[in-house]
Amino acid sequence: MLIIRPVAQRDLEDLLQLAHKAGQGMTSLPPCAETLQRTINKSQASFDSLTPRAEDYFLLVLEDLDIHKVVGTAAIYARTDSKQAFYAYRVMPAIHYSHSLAKEVRSDVLHLANDYTDCSEVGTLFVDPDYRGNGHWLAKARYLFMGVFRERFHSHVVAELRGWLDDQGKSPFWDAIGQHFFEMSFDEADRLCATGTNQFITELMPKHPIYTRLLSEQARAVLGKPHQDGRRALQLLEDEGFENENFIDIFDAGPMLRAKIDGLTSVKAIKKGAAAAPSLATETAGTATPETATLAPQIVMNGRLNDLRIIKTPVTYANSSDSTTNNEATIELAPSALDALGIQAGDLIYTIDRS
């Protein structure tokens, strides 16, 4: 069985292995034990806090209980600018017209912006390639968590995807801009950001608008283009209701998207109810009666912040009407599912009624 839970101290070695598999450009999951240890500590402090804090950071891990191994990660930042400004380039059109030549010239201009300040942020979504196919519900589990513990987050949430890299791991966008102002390689800048040393961005980054016509053709081609491994993640974000507002990452030009948390598809689909073991009638019949509604496997979460557990399992709603409203219902789960969630019959649980 797979389960999603808060990261724990015992997960450090597994996180290191995942970081090496994630590869270059995923700065939030660096192959550095010291940095990952700080990440674990920060996440645990956030889950232990009884009150919302700007610096809260929640790291969820996907664990294979059969082998007791972490095989995926997903994170949520309570606020983007809790420690420093959150910069991005906004890509805006510019039109120049010559009356003497009767000629119009169009271009895009990169404007440095921090419009996404005071947003929550989702990131660090990665699944071991051997468990490919589980990224979908791991991503949705973040939104379930945000919807249930709504007071911990802001009105909007942003997502930043890795930008496109060539076969040698080089970023054409960085080669066109970053290396000229930071005087370092993309690998070095990536490593510094991964270890939390990113004050240099604010100090050295160019402050004036940049016309994209001055960039190489290769750099222009990757503006807002996700990493080869991030195309599916982009689709999942768009399916949730995230919108591309023409903001890109200042390092690798990866796309940045934003959405209202309350408008996310998964958040609007959250249901809650009292957990229950299957009734004898349901177990015997094996199918739903007019008074029950059995659905495909659902994403189910207990309601305990400091002992969070999320699984994917079939459920049965006690009343078919309750499965399509926001009213509380009795939600039947298999005994093994109750054990995995660490709950008993009668405890409050939350589900997303689509997966």
Tell me how far apart the alpha carbons of residues 205 and 174 are, in angstroms, rounded to a whole number.
12
Tell me how far apart the alpha carbons of residues 339 and 8 are, in angstroms, rounded to a whole number.
19
Q: Give 3-state DSSP helix, strand, coil % of the chain, rounded to 5.
A: 35, 30, 35
Q: Residue 3 is inside which H or E element, if any? A: strand 2-6
Amino acid at 17: Q
Is 136 an active-site residue? no
- Burial status of residue 65 (CB atoms within 10 A of its CB: 0-12, 13-18, 19 or more): exposed
Contact 58, 75 (CB under 8 A): yes
Which of these is catalytic: 20, 68, 156, 227?
227
Nearest to 318 by CA among 270, 350, 354, 278: 278
Please give the structure tokens belonging to residue 174. Answer: 């960085």
Residues that are catalytic: 227
